[in-house]
Amino acid sequence: MRLLTHREIERLYRILSQSMPGRSSSAKGPKGQPDPFRTCLACILSAQSLDQNTAVATKALFKLARTPRTMLKLSVEQVAAAIKPCGLYNVKARSIQGFCATLIDEFDGIVPQTRDELLRLPGIGRKCADIVLQFAFGQPTIAVDTHVFRVCNRTGLAPGKTADKTADALLARTPEWAVEQAHFWLIQFGKRICVARTPRCDVCPLNQMCRDYIDRQPVPMIR
């Protein structure tokens, strides 16, 4: 797919900044968690889980423990039972215990503030690391979820075969002024306009530059 030009990217973000609400003043962290440790665990639990199920699981888990040391006092079976509503609970329970053990052994129980260090923690992938950096530590980065990935690949903003490759390209191609809000604009656009099954191309403010939309237009016949 052809990439958007730098001029088109500037225009894309200007349009999104005017048509999408961006980050609200009430936005805290994933699933509303108040600290970096619980933000990390909420990310782990949210994988392949509906938001309402993740909320039930996190609430049940944090009733039992709220620090890495108290979490390790629980058995894997206890953790799995608490987080069962979010699915994949046995795998996630082991990841949580591994996360807590590594956090204590390598970082004295304190969640690190760099992507490379976060990625050393079990259960933390690129998207989760970027979410923690942005929400828990206020660092300018762009987490790529399914909505952002779809928008980037459809429009030609930052196409990539994997979310990680898209994340690298997106951060490199996003103007510095837009990085802080880009995550929110792109997610909101993906949920409201560039939806998965039937994108609303007819009302899309980006359709004149979107590579997918342009490529799908019929070629005029030469008479």
- Kindly list the catalytic residues: 127, 145
- How many CB atoms within 10 Å of residue 99? 22
Distances (CA, A) of 128 to 24, 71, 119, 144: 20, 20, 9, 9
CA angle 102, 103, 107 (to 5 degrees): 115
Contacts 24+ apart (CB under 8 A), 80-86: 82/57, 83/45, 83/57, 83/58, 84/57, 85/53, 85/56, 85/57, 85/60, 86/45, 86/46, 86/49, 86/53, 86/54, 86/56, 86/57
- Distance, in Å, from the CA atom of 142 to the CA atom of 166, rounded to the nearest integer, reads 10
- How many CB atoms within 10 Å of residue 143? 24
**Is 204 marked as a binding-site residue?**
yes
**Is 201 marked as a binding-site residue?**
yes
**Is 43 marked as a binding-site residue?**
no
Q: Which residues carry a binding-site annotation for [4Fe-4S] cluster?
A: 194, 201, 204, 210
Q: Which residues carry a binding-site annotation?
A: 194, 201, 204, 210
